[in-house]
Structure 1
Amino acid sequence: MQNRTIPRRKPLRATIGIFGVGHYAYWPQFEGLLDELKAKQSRLAQKVQAHGVEVIDFGIVDDARGAYALLPKLQAAELDLIFCDMVTYATSSTFGVIIKTIDIPIVLVALQPLRAMDYSNASTYMQLCNDDFCSVPEFTGVAIRMGKKAPDCILGTLENDPVADAELAEYCQIAKVLHDLKRARIGQMGHVLESMLDMHADPTQFTAQFGCHIVQTEPHDVYRFYRDVTEPEIRIEAEKILGFFDTPDPQSDPITRKLTEEDLTTAARVSVALNKFIEKKKLDGLAYYYEGEPYSELRTVVTNFIVGNSLLIAAGFPMCGELDLKTCIAMLIMDRLDIGGSFAEFHPIDFNEGFVLIGHDGPHHINIAEGRPVLRSLLKYHGKPGAGASVEFKIREGPITMLSISSTYEGKFKFVLAEGESVQGPIPPTGNTNTRGFFKPEVRTFLKRWVAEGPTHHFALGIGHHAETIRKIANYLDLEAVIVSE
């Protein structure tokens, strides 16, 4: 049976502003030039809008007065990212006050209509239509003089340029990440697993550095819904679960067994309660850990989030056990980039074949599984109280990216990134996720370099190579980011 994909709970959203820049002196000199440049900017807006974002086109600014007039409009539009369309040469007075004042990312877009001028038939008019790059150095230099970083730049042609098209798509995805980071309501339930000092985090700093709000919640908030779940709701949810997971016989691990009807029923009931809980609280993610009194019904509830959480993660709702708020944010970033974002840590190293197992117990992003994910009943959750259904799979084979968000001594968040490969091969049948992760130059050196950057022991794991994209996000958030590489 093939994998089924869980649809998103909410569509990804972002609002991108576009304004063009030009030089007022050209318009009376070259009839039709302004209209041609407006058409070029309109085409850019169409291409951006095709990536599922809202686009607001602010027209063309051609002098300093126009820049000052545009500024309050940009500020009022609640934009997530701005494309400055370099439609022709423009003086930096069209840009200076904007880059000085605006705190959201601005990307310079220099996409000329022609791959090359027709030199034998060239004219000044043709040059001005393709002068997109001319003032880029002026703009980046002025940004630095204004005390800002030089803005990113997309260079290429407006049509038939796969590199430029990929960069436009990348920035649209970045805008979707920034949109949700600024607005997310992330639930915090319980406490950090005892003695995990790297998990502790100040909720206020998440608002200060990402913009999101940390919502304080209680295990009983879920328990109240759990008590009221009906038998028909349990039956429907159990059928849904079985539609996404295989339930094989146990293999070598004595604490695993074939999924029992009791564990399936409990997982389904908790899953229904979780969905009602997050809807009531209007949450966009959850970090949790709570043990509850031994043998209590509350303990049954809080130790059986795994299956429901895995369904929610795949639907775009990141959830982290062990109350790891930082990795919850890392998972949200990866999810909004549409590359997955599964809860992970390092497991044993295979020195024979040169890889390290990457996985974790608990919930995971089943939409990026290689093959159908598995549910097993566990007689015990290692290192934690409770027993019940647990999720097992490996990440889709191919390129992978890891993101750990740690805290520095100064209290700032830091992104630690790496890229590797998920490769084919068996994984332990333990009811947990595990992926065979290969990293350059070889596993021993890579892991030493990784830990030297001070990550937490958790990270988000996604598909594809996207470390540079995530580093751009860190840059826009004014956070340190390092890519552990060869």
Structure 2
Amino acid sequence: MNALSPIKDTKKARVGFYSIGLQAYWPQFPGLQERLTEYGQFIEQKMSAFGEIYNYGIVDSEAAGRKAGEWFNERNVDIIFCHSATYSTSSNVLPVHQICKKPVIILNMQPTNRMNYEQTTTGEWLAHCGACPVPEISNAFQRAGIVFRVINGLLGLSYTPAISLTNEITADRKEAKRAWKSIEEWIRAAGVVRTLQHSRFGFLGNTYSGMLDMYSDFTMIQAQMGIHVEVLEMCDVHDLLKSVTPDEVEAKLAEVGAMFEISDQASSDPIAKKPTDEQLQWSAKIAVAQEKMVRKFDLDALTYYYHGAPGSEYEQLQAGFILGHSLLTARGIPCSGEGDLKTALAMKICDILGTGGSFSEIVVVDYEDETILLGHDGPFHTAISEGKPILRGMGLYHGKQGTGISVEAKVKRGPITTLNVTQTFEGKLKLIISEGESTDGPIMRIGNTQTPVRFNKHPDDYMEMWFAEAPTHHCAISIGHNASLFQKVGELLNCAHVTL
């Protein structure tokens, strides 16, 4: 995904890791402990591409398990991976997770795809019998009320240790690739949780009046996601606008020129025309103020809406919002319109994972192509655009007040995943996930974002399933098929989730 340099960096997950063994084995089988330590170091090194890894080493006794649990607490880890390297009693493992109550993933990853049956010794077998204690550990966890997941597969080494009696080169095996994909997703998902727990979302203005699905309880958002909601006023933007210099406007216009195509007069809609110089200058000036606001209040995302009294100063101010909020979205500060805080959350999850996250709703169904057009009047995540987004000057914003610049664009062709964050009757947040394909189908030239998406069912059947989940009417579009990744985010957030 090509994007501008982010205004703020996302946080990497802090990952606890340890291997298990049995003290009685070490004097019986020389070299086994060192061999298992080497496997653990391989896993640690490979995991470090995705997060900050804290490797305790081998837990081989109940006392070591208690010490490891305290050690992980001291390092404030977000998730723990237990490498089932050989047999270990469950009494060694359970204390780790009774003391450090972070989510736990058991790694049952065998070093070889097949034993050398004729030459294998007991010591050799013990280096490959990681699956043996997993049922015992699973039973202990279940009886202790500890939620866990198990990843099965191959270790994925690209070499064979000198001590080994069999071939351990399994990096290209599907069982290794599948296991490591899951590990990567769990760590990236844990990074979403950590980032959200340290995030500040701005709420500028108000929610579009009457959109009942949009209204959210700020305390509920913080209680369930850890996000602080900073309530902002239009005068915050207005005051910052006074400090914008001509040089800053020119720099912003250069940024706009590099990222967008300025439309000509050719449009099917008389209200969507070539932007005037005055509209461009005004939107660029406001974009500078919007970025200043993000920096002043240390924001990680923003939702906004304000209609203003007809002809008022604030109406003119909000009329220039779409361009600047599209630029912010491309720089890791997702901006959702109409005061939709829950979709700002969906967009932020997508953005943390590096998959985009563009503000969308149902535009229209194309029954000939069997696609659903998803889009909005802005903002747009320019980093996932199919070609350069187009800027059009709008004679009016439908359903809203004011005139100004809007973005016309479509998400790049290929696999996409929509993420919708809704709220249940019980007041709990819920993720709705759908994988589909962005097609090369036509779109309307009316100054709105539109992406034709083909889901895995006929549009009518898909919409029946989707609407039955009681979604909000907005969603975020991400690039790639990310259902398994979003599902892991839902689990780690302790948030209900459904994949259509």
Say whether the fold is shared (TM-score over 0.5).
Answer: yes
Residues 442-475 of structure 1: per-residue CA shift (max 9 Å, x gap)? 1111111100111110111111111122112112
2:246 is aligned with 1:247: no
Corresponding residue of 2:139: 141
2:434 is aligned with 1:418: yes
How many angstroms apart in 1 are the aligned matches of 2:62 and 2:330? Answer: 48
2:241 is aligned with 1:226: yes
How many angstroms apart in 1 are the aligned matches of 2:195 and 2:42? Answer: 27
> 1:471-482 counterparts in 2 under 5 A?
471-482=487-498
> 1:82-231 counterparts in 2 under 5 A?
82-159=80-157, 160=171, 161-231=176-246
2:272 is aligned with 1:256: yes
Superposed displacement of residue 151, structure 1: 2.2
How many angstroms apart in 1 are the aligned matches of 2:110 and 2:399? Answer: 59
Superposed displacement of residue 102, structure 1: 3.4
How many angstroms apart in 1 are the aligned matches of 2:22 and 2:190? Answer: 29
How many angstroms apart in 1 are the aligned matches of 2:127 and 2:60? Answer: 15
Rate the CA distance shift 1:57–1:209 in 2: closer, same or farther, 3 A.
same
Letter in 2 for 1:60: I
Residues 58-79 of structure 1: per-residue CA shift (max 9 Å, x gap)? 1111111111112122112122
**Is 1:342–1:364's contact at 8 Å kept on the other side of the alignment?**
yes
How many angstroms apart in 2 are the aligned matches of 1:331 and 1:480? Answer: 17
Give secondary structure in 2 for the equivalent of 1:55: strand
TM-score by length of 1: 0.96
> 1:245-284 counterparts in 2 under 5 A?
245-249=260-264, 250-284=266-300
2:366 is aligned with 1:366: no
Residues 172-223 of structure 1: per-residue CA shift (max 9 Å, x gap)? 2112211112111111122110000000111111111111111122121111
Superposed displacement of residue 22, structure 1: 1.2
Q: For structure 1, list consecutive stretches of 5 or more residues without a partner in the other structure.
A: none
**Is 1:18–1:45's contact at 8 Å kept on the other side of the alignment?**
yes
How many angstroms apart in 2 are the aligned matches of 1:253 and 1:87? Answer: 65
Letter in 1 for 2:201: I
**Is 2:204–2:305's contact at 8 Å kept on the other side of the alignment?**
yes
**Is 1:83–1:109's contact at 8 Å kept on the other side of the alignment?**
yes
Letter in 1 for 2:193: L
**Is 2:151–2:182's contact at 8 Å kept on the other side of the alignment?**
no
From 5, 8, 11, give the equivalent of 2:9: 11
Residues 15-67 of structure 1: per-residue CA shift (max 9 Å, x gap)? 2121111111111111111111111101111001123x211111111111111
> 1:57-72 counterparts in 2 under 5 A?
57-72=55-70
Superposed displacement of residue 101, structure 1: 4.3
Corresponding residue of 2:318: 302
How many angstroms apart in 1 are the aligned matches of 2:319 and 2:237? Answer: 12
Superposed displacement of residue 154, structure 1: 4.4
Rate the CA distance shift 1:103–1:396 in 2: closer, same or farther, 3 A.
farther
Superposed displacement of residue 433, structure 1: 0.6
Letter in 2 for 1:382: H
Letter in 1 for 2:239: R
How many angstroms apart in 2 are the aligned matches of 1:262 and 1:149? Answer: 58
Letter in 1 for 2:320: N
Q: How many residues align?
A: 481
**Is 2:274–2:392's contact at 8 Å kept on the other side of the alignment?**
yes
**Is 1:19–1:85's contact at 8 Å kept on the other side of the alignment?**
yes
Identity %: 37
Corresponding residue of 2:48: 49
How many angstroms apart in 1 are the aligned matches of 2:359 and 2:478? Answer: 9
How many angstroms apart in 1 are the aligned matches of 2:384 and 2:83? Answer: 36
**Is 2:216–2:342's contact at 8 Å kept on the other side of the alignment?**
yes
2:32 is aligned with 1:33: yes
Superposed displacement of residue 129, structure 1: 1.2
Letter in 2 for 1:407: Q
Letter in 2 for 1:32: G
Corresponding residue of 1:381: 397
From 312, 316, 331, give the equivalent of 1:315: 331
How many angstroms apart in 1 are the aligned matches of 2:153 and 2:427? Answer: 37
Q: How large is the RMSD of aligned CA atoms in angstroms?
A: 1.5
Corresponding residue of 1:470: 486
**Is 1:107–1:154's contact at 8 Å kept on the other side of the alignment?**
no
How many angstroms apart in 2 are the aligned matches of 1:345 and 1:333? Answer: 17
Superposed displacement of residue 7, structure 1: 2.5
Rate the CA distance shift 1:152–1:312 in 2: closer, same or farther, 3 A.
farther
Give secondary structure in 2 for the equivalent of 1:419: strand
Superposed displacement of residue 4, structure 1: 6.2
Superposed displacement of residue 276, structure 1: 0.9
**Is 1:115–1:157's contact at 8 Å kept on the other side of the alignment?**
no
Letter in 2 for 1:178: V
Corresponding residue of 2:168: none
Corresponding residue of 2:160: none
How many angstroms apart in 1 are the aligned matches of 2:8 and 2:122? Answer: 49
How many angstroms apart in 2 are the aligned matches of 1:138 and 1:267? Answer: 63
Rate the CA distance shift 1:267–1:237 in 2: closer, same or farther, 3 A.
same
TM-score by length of 2: 0.93
How many angstroms apart in 1 are the aligned matches of 2:101 and 2:69? Answer: 12
